[in-house]
Chains A and B, each alone.
Chain A
Amino acid sequence: MISKKNKVVELEHAVIRFAGDSGDGMQLTGSLFSDSTAFAGNDFATFPDFPAEIRAPQGTIAGVSGFQIHFGRTDIHTSGDLADVLIAMNPASLKANMRWITKEAIIIVDTDSFVEKNFVKAGYAADPLSDESLVGHLVIKAPITTLTREAIRDLNLDNKTSQKSKNMFALGLVFYMFNRDYKKTYTFFESKFRSNPLIVEANKKVLEAGYNFGDTIEAFANTYKVDPAPLEKGKYRNVTGNLATAWGFLAASDRSGRDLFLGSYPITPASEILQELSKHKELNSISFQAEDEIAGIVSTIGASFAGALAVTTTSGPGLSLKSEAIGLAVITELPIVIVDVQRGGPSTGLPTKSEQSDLMQALFGRNGEAPVIIIAASSAADCFYSAYEASKLALEHMTPVILLTDGSLANGSEVFKIPKVKDLPEITPPLVEANDDTFKPYARDEKKLSRRWALPGTEGLRHRIGGLEKEDISGNVSMDPLNHQLMTELREEKVRRVVDYIPDQEVIGAEDSDVLVVSWGGTYGVLLTAIEKLIEEGKSVSLAHFKHIMPLPRNTREILSRYKKIVVCEINMGQFVNYLRMQFPEYKYEQYNKIQGLPFMVTEIIDKVNELLND
């Protein structure tokens, strides 16, 4: 067949959104496109957008599942604001996603599903393909269901089975649009459906049919190409935040010489960490699926007492349930890491959507004076380093650490340069040798103020700890008023002194810009993209994105003092800004908040900064 493609347009970056019914396999389609993007050498980031229900009624807006990928020849930090290409497998997915695409976006639809009954389910009064609603868009009308069936007619598969591969037709079509080598995906089929050669064959045929369909029809005026990004030399892979978190703990377990123990209860969007670690017993990682959130953390405290790198993972509702036990870890001064993959709240809230609204809970949500170290991961790949650092700080400072990630980091993915474990910083827990007669349970390291870790089973170190206040040095139960004040201050000071073990806060942009944008945690990618763009445009703006929350880096005050206007952007009602107001009341803070279960868009940040610059 003679190729009709005559023009290849080079793009700096592009955003594609795959959308369909939750049974249509859109997540798989997206992840296969991601793999192909990796082979093409682009930098990229992805984000799945799926409903809280497993299979909401077919054909409805509630059942729409989406996957967005942003890839480019430059550094990519976000999964993209609006999509340039939308694949809509049914009317509901078209309707649900119109607000997430650009005005000129190319829309690919499966015309076979655009029938009366589906319009009704999606809430369309009329066929959106034949009214004015898609004006401005190039709409590729492909009878995907029919063509899929045709492509594998020879294989005599039943109707249901053949329908299942229609997502591969859509993938083939998009591969054509972006000049990808579709045959690279064959290896995936061959490994995934190893036991069923017929299915391997079917998927190959459908993928090829989709590609050829693109080549044959004259609908595409152009095809597109995104050149490789200038990534540093090295070995790369794609990771989601949850995967990176799990692996960060495994690396910390390796470097610290402590077995990993995860005590956790399944909760969206944190469960994948538990699932991943339960796969890796070969690395001495014990995962214990507890009967509830409380048993999750309390078993973790037990494991820590017994000498493990002990971790518990949860989301906001679970963090609430763990509050009392975090206090036990604070007073027993045992190292544990609590991961809170934040989601929309309060209560059950928006389980599959992301938010940054647990910051105050992490800082203050406990009875008594119960300070803990808090770190917030900045990106999916950074979850690896954050989990590693959280473990290091917990083990070396003998105190609980809360690691805040969020739903968008957890499920979003990005390119990750694979580190070597031996290159990661050393982790040296303050273990006590057998029969060390200088050991006192609550004697402290002079610099860090951490107590030492004497493990049950070690000769000559028997001691008791617990939730009752302890006497300084000896660790005996004490109700002495002055001792309580001393111990409270020591626990507080121990956490404060972590400031000597974390890096100074970095600022992107000039030291004296008109506006300092402040952000923290999972919004890094969007903020960085927006601020870099503004700086490129010559705007006087800088960015301080915080990863270390408690304690704040040493130079925080100095940074805040340099700027005339400070705006704190976060996905909540203003928790970090109020934390800054408490600590540094001498500065004036503007705030920019969004609380829709959605990440910031780059354009929103740009608009907000421009508004402040023009004030």
Chain B
Amino acid sequence: MNDIVDAKSLTLTKKDFESDQMVKWCPGCGDHAILRSLENVFPELGIPKEDFVVVSGIGCSSRFPYYMNTYGIHGIHGRAAALATGIKLTNPRLSVWMISGDGDSMAIGGNHFIHIARRNPDINYLMFNNKIYGLTKGQYSPTTPFGAKTKTSPQGTFEQPFNPGELVIGSQGKFFARVTDTNLKLMSKIFKEAAEFRGASIVEILANCIIFQNKIHSLITSKETKEQNQLILEHGKPMLFGKDNEKGIVLEGTRLKVVELGKDGVTVDDILVHDKTTVDPGIHMMLASMAPPEFPAAIGVIRAVKTETLEESVWNSVEHEKKTSPIKTVDDLLNSGNTWDID
């Protein structure tokens, strides 16, 4: 519920959002790209700079608020979603951006993650997924691939990982997008779309931890393999990928399948067309689940279903009660019901 203000009249630039604090992430960390991208996006949203609030939990990514010149609050581990919800409910006019990581969101904050998705406050939730605990120096996280060797899994992990998109959609989430830290242009586009979407816009950013989990996303992000392993989704367009868009996704029975155009008579008309707005979560869930080597990873906005936001429901109820309740003041309340006078 941001006031719509003419962007030009604000004439904000990247500079308006750069903080004077030293950015202390490791050189080469994917987080730098995300910060740059957000600093570029904020001036373009048409929102006054004092209306931005950046909220975070704990972890490398969560130092983010200190690096942006906005209102900011750096919370405790896993609980940023609750902080953000409290802020948004209190002042729905604010543009609330929440920064979190895979440890913060999927482990200690797992409970808050599913509930923010379900409640749908208008919060932009950026989850940096580097599939490792960075700030505590290299323990496995709930998104670390099964069997991966880390400091706390020297024999390989024994646990199946979460796929954040599946959790979002399974938790009644209305917006889910995925992007890589290597594609700044797409990142900015998706951040804008997340900002414009009224509801909990959860964006998974495949981020690289250069120190403890280097190249964890390289199948998806490296120059050599990305064309085969990324399906860049566009609403209303067929799901094509590959060097020359020679491959596509079809629905066969109840499953998705990769096909090649021209092979076995497959034409572009057979290819699934992406509809991010469909309420039914079936295809969205399958898209979120796709992963190399069998499938390309779905990149872009997978799901964006409009519905009333939490704060809209709550404040509409406040307005309704103000109109209809016989109680107008606290004095009215104190004097309501059974009272008696002593003379």
> Is B50's CB under 8 angstroms from A282's CB?
no
The answer to whether B330 and A254 have CB atoms under 8 Å apart is yes
Q: Point out the residues of chain A lying under 8 angstroms from B58, CB to CB.
A: 467
Please indicate the chain B residues that have their CB under 8 angstroms from the CB of A307 in the complex. Answer: 90-91
Q: Which of B55, B71, B75, B317 contacts A281 (CB 8 A)?
A: B317
Among B181-189, B210-218, B225-233, B319-327, which stretch is in contact with chain A?
Answer: B319-327
The answer, yes or no, to whether A247 is at the interface (CB within 8 Å) is yes
How many angstroms between the C-alpha atoms of A466 and B335 in the bound complex? 42
> Nearest Cβ in chain B — how far from A58, in angstroms?
31
Any B CB within 8 A of the CB of A515: no
| Min CB–CB distance B254 → chain A (angstroms) | 33
Are B50 and A457 in contact (CB-based, < 8 A)?
yes
Considering only residues 287-311 of chain A, those with a C-beta below 8 Å from chain B are 288, 290-292, 294-296, 298-308, 310
Which stretch in A120-128, A204-212, A232-240, A594-602 binds the other chain?
A232-240
Where the two chains meet, the residues of B that have a C-beta atom closer than 8 Å to any C-beta of A are 19, 21, 48-51, 53, 55-56, 58, 65-66, 69-76, 79, 81-91, 93-94, 111-112, 115, 314, 317-318, 320-322, 324-325, 327-331, 333-335, 337-343
| Contact present for A477 and B66 (CB under 8 Å) | yes
B342 touching A457, Cβ below 8 Å: no
User: Chain B: which residue is nearest A258 at the CB level?
Assistant: B90
Q: Known pairs A295-B81, A458-B50, A461-B50; list 10 more (Cβ under 8 Å).
A: A235-B340, A238-B338, A282-B322, A291-B111, A295-B82, A305-B87, A310-B86, A328-B76, A457-B93, A462-B70
Interchain CA distance A282-B327 in the complex, whole Å? 7
Decide yes or no: A476 and B50 within 8 Å by CB, A288-B85, A303-B90 being known contacts: no
Q: Interface code A466-508, partner B: CB below 8 Å = 1, 0 otherwise?
A: 1110000000110000000000000000000000000000000
The yes or no answer to A251 lying at the interface (CB within 8 A) is: yes
A464-B82 CB under 8 A given contacts A39-B340, A251-B330: no
Interface centre among B66, B71, B325, B327 (most CB of A within 10 A): B71
Say whether A263 faces chain B, with CB atoms less than 8 Å apart: yes
Q: Is the CB of B340 within 8 A of A456?
A: no
Q: Are A467 and B76 in contact (CB under 8 A)?
A: yes
| A236: contacting residue among B71, B73, B342, CB under 8 A | B342
A selection of 29 A-B contacts at a CB cut-off of 8 Å is A231-B342, A233-B342, A234-B341, A234-B342, A235-B335, A235-B339, A235-B341, A235-B342, A237-B334, A238-B338, A247-B333, A250-B333, A254-B329, A281-B320, A291-B111, A295-B82, A302-B55, A302-B88, A305-B87, A325-B76, A332-B73, A421-B334, A455-B91, A457-B51, A458-B50, A464-B71, A467-B75, A476-B21, A477-B21
Given A254-B329, A299-B82, A456-B51: A464 touches B66 (CB 8 Å cut-off): yes
Query: CB-CB < 8 A to B322: which residues of A?
Result: 281-282
Contact A457 B90 (CB under 8 A): no
Q: When chains A and B are docked, how far (Å) is the Cα of A250 from the Cα of B337?
A: 17
The answer to whether the Cβ of A286 comes within 8 Å of any Cβ in the partner chain is: yes
A263:B86 contact, CB within 8 angstroms: yes
Q: Given A236-B341, A468-B74, are A299 and B83 neighbors across the interface (CB < 8 Å)? A: yes
With a CB–CB cut-off of 8 A, which chain B residues contact A182? none
Which B residues are CB-close (under 8 A) to A247? 330, 333-334
Query: Known interface pairs A457-B94, A458-B50. Does A464 touch B73 (Cβ–Cβ under 8 Å)?
Result: yes
The reply to whether B90 and A306 form a contact with Cβ atoms under 8 Å apart is: yes
Residue of A nearest to B16 (CB): A462
Asked if A538 is at the interface (CB within 8 A of a chain B CB), the reply is: no
User: Given contacts A282-B321, A286-B314, are A261 and B90 in contact (CB under 8 A)?
Assistant: yes
Within 8 A of B (CB), among A491-536: none
In the complex, A237 Cα to B66 Cα: how many Å?
51
A604 is an interface residue with CB less than 8 A from chain B: no
B82, A462: Cβ atoms under 8 Å?
no
Return B48 CB to nearest CB of chain A, in Å.
7
Q: List A contacts of B76 (CB < 8 A).
A: 298, 324-325, 327-328, 467
What is the CA–CA distance of A455 and B94 in the complex, to the nearest angstrom?
A: 11
Query: Is A585 located at the chain interface by the 8 A CB criterion?
Result: no
How far is the CB of A564 from the nearest CB of chain B, in Å? Answer: 41
Interface of A is mostly: mixed
Give which listed residue, B75, B329, B338, contacts A301 with CB less than 8 A: B75
**Which listed residue, A38, A296, A419, touches B338 by the CB 8 Å rule?**
A38
User: B residues within 8 A CB of A35?
Assistant: 338
A460 within 8 A of B: yes
B89 / chain A contacts, CB cutoff of 8 Å: 261, 286, 288, 299, 303
A227 within 8 A of B: no
Closest 9 CB pairs between A and B?
A: A302-B86, A466-B74, A299-B86, A298-B82, A464-B72, A306-B90, A282-B325, A456-B71, A295-B82
List A contacts of B112 (CB < 8 A): 291, 295
* Residue among A41, A288, A310 making CB contact with B342, cutoff 8 Å: A41
Contact A465 B73 (CB under 8 A): yes
Chain B contacts for A305, CB-based, 8 A: 73, 83, 86-87
- Residues in chain A within 8 A of chain B (CB atoms): 35, 38-39, 41, 231-238, 247, 250-251, 253-254, 259, 261, 263, 280-284, 286, 288, 290-292, 294-296, 298-308, 310, 324-325, 327-328, 332, 418-421, 455-468, 476-477
Q: Are A456 and B50 in touch, CB under 8 angstroms?
A: yes
Nearest CB of chain A from residue B275's CB, rounded to whole Å: 31
Q: Which residue of B lies closest to A328 (CB)?
A: B76
Are the CB atoms of B87 and A302 closer together than 8 Å?
Answer: yes
Q: How many angstroms between the C-alpha atoms of A294 and B111 in the bound complex? A: 10
Q: Decide if A420 touches B87 in the complex (CB within 8 Å).
A: no
Chain B residue nearest to A244 (CB atoms) is: B334
**With a CB–CB cut-off of 8 A, which chain B residues contact A462?**
49-50, 69-71
Check B74 against A306 for contact (C-beta < 8 Å): no
In the complex, chain A residues whose CB is within 8 Å of the CB of B314? 281, 286
Q: How far is the CB of B4 from chain A (nearest CB, A)?
A: 15
A281 touches B65 (CB 8 A): no
Most chain B C-beta atoms within 10 Å of own C-beta, residue among A231, A288, A302, A310: A302
Determine whether the beta carbon of B338 is less than 8 Å from that of A294: no
User: Are A418 and B335 in touch, CB under 8 angstroms?
Assistant: yes
Beta-carbon contact of A232 and B327 below 8 Å? no
CB of B7, distance to nearest CB on chain A (Å): 17
Please, which residue of chain B has its CB at the minimum distance from the CB of A39? B340
List of A residues within 8 angstroms of B65 by Cβ: 464, 466
Q: How far is the CB of A439 from chain B (nearest CB, A)?
A: 12
A465 to B82, CA, bound (A): 16
Q: Which A residues touch B327, using CB under 8 A?
A: 280, 282-283
- Cβ of A250 and Cβ of B342 under 8 Å apart? no
Flag if B333 contacts A280 (CB, 8 Å): yes
